[in-house]
Amino acid sequence: MIKAIAVDMDGTFLDSSKQYDEQRFNRIFQQLENEHIKFIAASGNQYAKLKSIFGDRNMFFVAENGAVIYEGNTLYDYQAFERDFYQSVVNYLNIDRDIKEIIVCGLDSAYILKDNRESFKKEAHFYYRQLKEIESFQNLPKDEYVKIALNINRGTHPTLDEDLKNYFSKDLALVSSGRDSIDLIIPGMTKGSALERLLNKWDLTKNELMAFGDANNDLDMLQLAHYSYVMENCEDASLFEAANYVAPSNNKQGVLSVIEDEVLKINN
């Protein structure tokens, strides 16, 4: 029996316009609550962004690719980088590799440079509701830092993925949240590991977990859940190998359809 459902956001729960059928979800969510089935938004997004999508609900938020977990409005758990190491990674990207368009992600806020392009700032503000512009990355504000996000231009930095892996070895992990979007995270601090911690807290097993995803940063989440669904719009072949089932695309509200059909047994 399914007791918890974890869903990725972009490309999975949200359609290509970054929307979802709110009325339909409200009905589904109420039924999940009535049946004591936990609903978890599991995303590379910032907690504040996830809250803007779902509002005040009695649900869990796995944010920043698993580094931050909230229960409703309450911080439940987080894991931050060691400050000096984090600064060395930022300096390598910003100074050694001359990359300016970086989103430095803290627990309290995300940070970008004031002199970034306006188009980059606009996109950053869309994904990071708590976002501040700073003069320099070499004197970061006091915060607990959980992730670095950037888009790799493979034309100008064709070897950056491998260079980061080689330079920082086992102390840094790279996951893709879609196409050229890369998140630099603490090794082992993933959506899957966050869900494992929650399952242990709730005394549940992977056989009671349903999960939905479409990108590389969803891989271990799908490997964990017995009821694992890759979205049919996914472009990563490894996820089709990892998942046990395929859900209709995000533009068909596939997550909601599967929950209705397979969990709540709603006959539409």
202 and 180 share one domain: no
Of these residues, 8, 183, 218, 220, which one is catalytic?
8
pLDDT at 177: 67
Residue 268 within a domain: no
Same domain, 173 and 194: no
Determine the 3-state secondary structure of 145 from DSSP.
strand
Residues 146, 59, single domain; the answer is: no
Number of residues assigned to the chain: 268
Residue 242 CA: distances (Å) to CA of 39, 159, 182, 225 = 22, 27, 21, 10
Rounded CA gap, 52 and 70, in Å? 14
* Domains of the chain: total: 2
Same domain, 87 and 181: yes
Q: How much is the pLDDT for 175?
A: 86
Residue 214 belongs to domain spanning: 4-78+189-263
pLDDT score at 240: 97
Helix or strand or coil: residue 177? strand
- Is 8 assigned a catalytic role? yes
CATH number for the domain that contains residue 210: 3.40.50.1000
| 88 and 181 co-located in one domain | yes
> Could you tell me the pTM of the whole model?
0.92
> Each residue of 147-175: b (16+ CB within 10 Å) or e?
bbbbbbeeeebeebeeebeeebeeebbbb
Verify that 176 and 244 share a domain, yes or no.
no
First to last CA, the chain: 22
Q: Do 16 and 92 fall within a single domain?
A: no
pLDDT tens, the chain, 268 aa long: 999 999 999 999 999 999 999 999 999 999 999 999 999 999 999 999 999 999 989 899 999 999 999 999 999 999 999 999 999 999 999 999 999 999 999 999 999 999 999 999 999 999 999 999 999 999 899 999 999 999 888 788 889 989 999 999 889 999 886 667 889 999 999 999 999 999 999 999 999 999 999 999 999 999 999 999 999 999 999 999 999 999 999 999 999 999 999 999 864 4
Residue 253: per-residue pLDDT = 97
* Residue 179, pLDDT score: 63
Q: Which of 140, 167, 185 is the last residue of a domain?
A: 185
Question: Is residue 258 in a domain?
Answer: yes
Domain boundary among 158, 185, 212: 185
| Distance set, CA 199 to CA 55, 120, 206 (Å) | 23, 37, 8
Sheet holding 68-71, edge to edge: 74-78, 68-71, 60-63, 38-42, 4-7, 209-213, 227-231, 245-247
The whole-angstrom separation of Cα 266 and Cα 268 is 6
pLDDT of residue 251: 98
Q: 113, 110, 82: which is closest to 189 by C-alpha?
A: 82
| H or E stretch at 52 | helix 47-54
